[in-house]
Structure formats: structure tokens, C-alpha cells
A and B are shown apart, each in its own frame.
Chain A
């Protein structure tokens, strides 16, 4: 059953081979990058599964699971994995470039534009408000993810320990992760509910 999960390389799926070109990968991820205001993740499933039908829901869930385990932006990992699956390393590069190029250019333009008008008190007030709002959005995102889980003592304990170590004590992230990642994975391994 695991073999059904990887589309590009399996004998089964070669009955209906998918010809996904570098250009198609680039364009699909360009679209996701440009549509992804406030985070790209919701668009990834929409474009890959619903629109282009490059994989079904189960394959996508498996790919997403791996993307989430790896460090780095989830969407970027998805771009790498999907690009590599269809066109090898150059396909991964095409997907990542598609994802990042346009948003990066827009972001730099926004920062420069802001630099030119930041002396204006109303612009400064707007960006101060936006900064306070952005902080709230990050907090809301964290709470939203927590809401979708069944909160067990394990989850609450690890979440709190991480929050206190990084947010309040401001300990270096690498040491916090070196200590907490193995502990948390071990706890999850022995947690019957996970």
C-alpha cells in the first residue's frame, strides 16, 4: 500500500504517466506564491490536487506529512519534493524558483516603497498598527493549530516548555530544539493517542 503513495516512480502509476514539464511546475508554484497572501499553504492543495490533478488526496497528504517533518517552509519543501518527483533536481529548482521569485520581488518593492514614505506620520501610524496586527495574527495562528488537536498533557507540556524557553527566557533556539525535539518525539512514540 505504501507503493501507491509515490506517484511518479511506481510501476502502477506508469499506466497513466503524468507528463509534468519544468514550465508547468514553475507556473503552478508561481501561481501559489502570488495567491498566497498571509501564507501559501491553503493554495498548495487547491492547485496541486484540485486544479492540476497531479496527485490525489492521499498522495498529497503523504507528501505534506513529509514536508511538515522537514525544517524550512512547508510549501518550499512541497515544491522540492514534487518538482523532484516529476522532473528530478532541475524540476525541484524550477518549482522553488516559481514559488519564491515573484513574491520576493514584490516584498523588496514594498520595503523600498515604505522606506521612501516612512517619514510620513500616517504611514508610520499605519505600519505601527499593522505590526501590532501581524503579532496578533501569529498568535491566532498558533492558537488555531492548537484548537484542531486533541489537547493531551503531552501536547500542553511541550507547547508550554517551548513557549517559555524561546518566548520568555529567550534561550538560543538550537539548544532548545536539541533538548526538546528528541524528548517530544519519544513522548509521541509512546503516546497511544498519537
Chain B
């Protein structure tokens, strides 16, 4: 299990172009579909909980490690998440730090932007399919997306509002 966690998290962290939100579909595919180690609902809950904590979103990988194999899983997943991309960044930084605005690097960045957007939207879609059980939860998803898109409210308040909406709906229609 630990070896499997190490392999999955290392490969995921090296594929995370555009940050952790880009790899949610693959993480879901590996953990829920391939390993069968978590249910759809478990995964969504863990993602929601990770969003309530401060810090970089890549922590979702560490939390999945914790959920799958306790403290050892947490340690392995965290190391696999931190070390390979850090080593890569270290090497790239030493070679490229003087060329932050070269044409090649600009093309790489411009080429990765639409990929990152596509991956982030795919993540939202996969999470929504797992989290939205009925019209009301779909409404929460749509409202949260719209509120983030059209306003400058801190996302933590939107998460709190969504949680309260969940409770309110449960009180109104148990």
C-alpha cells in the first residue's frame, strides 16, 4: 500500500501543471476506480475538508495518504508530493532563473495555460458529479461557481455558506 501511495503521489505531483486542482480527476481515478480504496463520497468529503484548511491545495495528496494508511501514509504521500517537484524546481531554477522572459519559456507558459484551465474545469466536473446528488446540491455548486466568478468574496466564506446551506436543506427537507 505504501509503495502504491508513493508511486501514485509521485507521478501525480509531477503531472500537476496548474496546481493541485489539475490532478483531482486522476487522483479520483487512481484512488476510487483503480485502487478501490475510497468511495466517491469519501473522496468528495475529503476534498471538501481539505478546502477548509489553510495552505496549498496539494495537501489533498497528503490527506489521501493519511486516510489510506495513517501516519505512514501521510509521511510517504507528503514526501512524494514535496520532493520530486522540488528537486525539479531546484534544477530548473538554477538553469533558467535568468531566462524568465525568453521566448521559449513564454511559449511553454502560454501553451500550458489552456491545458491548466481544461484540467481545472475537468476537476470541478468530476467533483460535482460526485457531490451533486439532487437538484439542491447542484444549485449549491452552480451558486458557488457563480459567486466566485462574479464577486471577489474570499472562498472560505463561500465554503461556509455552502456548509450552512447543506444544514438548512437538511432541516427543511430531512
Which chain A residues have a beta carbon within 8 Å of chain B's beta carbons?
2-3, 5-6, 9, 33-40, 61-63, 65-77, 80-81, 84-85, 89, 92, 96, 99-100, 102-104, 106-108, 110-111, 114, 118, 121-122, 125-147, 149, 154-163, 166-168, 170, 172-174, 177, 180-181, 184-189, 191, 194
Distance between A92 CB and nearest chain B CB, rounded to angstroms: 6
Distance between A118 CB and nearest chain B CB, rounded to angstroms: 8
Q: Which residues of B contact A111 (CB under 8 A)?
A: 46, 49, 63, 66-67
Known: A38-B156, A132-B131. A68 touches B112 (CB 8 A): yes
Q: Which residues of B contact A65 (CB under 8 A)?
A: 100-101, 105-106, 109
Q: Which residues of A contact B55 (CB under 8 A)?
A: 33-34, 36, 40, 99-100, 102-104, 106-107
What is the CA–CA distance of A134 and B161 in the complex, to the nearest angstrom? Answer: 11
Q: Which residues of B contact A121 (CB under 8 A)?
A: 170
How many chain B residues touch A (CB < 8 A): the figure is 113
Pair A106/B54 contact, Cβ less than 8 Å: yes
Distance between A137 CB and nearest chain B CB, rounded to angstroms: 5
Pair A138/B115 contact, Cβ less than 8 Å: no
Distance between A174 CB and nearest chain B CB, rounded to angstroms: 6
Does B59 interact with chain A (Cβ within 8 Å)? Answer: yes
Pair A66/B13 contact, Cβ less than 8 Å: no
Q: Which residues of B contact A129 (CB under 8 A)?
A: 137, 140, 162-167, 169
Pair B25/A133 contact, Cβ less than 8 Å: no
Enumerate B1-36 residues with CB–CB distance to A below 8 Å. 11-21, 23-26, 29, 33
Distance between B173 CB and nearest chain A CB, rounded to angstroms: 11
Q: Which residues of B contact A137 (CB under 8 A)?
A: 51, 124, 144-145, 148, 155, 158-159
Which of A35, A114, A127, A166 is B166 in contact with, Cβ under 8 Å? A127
Pair A73/B45 contact, Cβ less than 8 Å: no
Q: Which residues of A contact B85 (CB under 8 A)?
A: 70-73, 76-77
Q: Which residues of B contact A187 (CB under 8 A)?
A: 111
Known: A38-B51, A188-B111. A143 touches B161 (CB 8 A): no
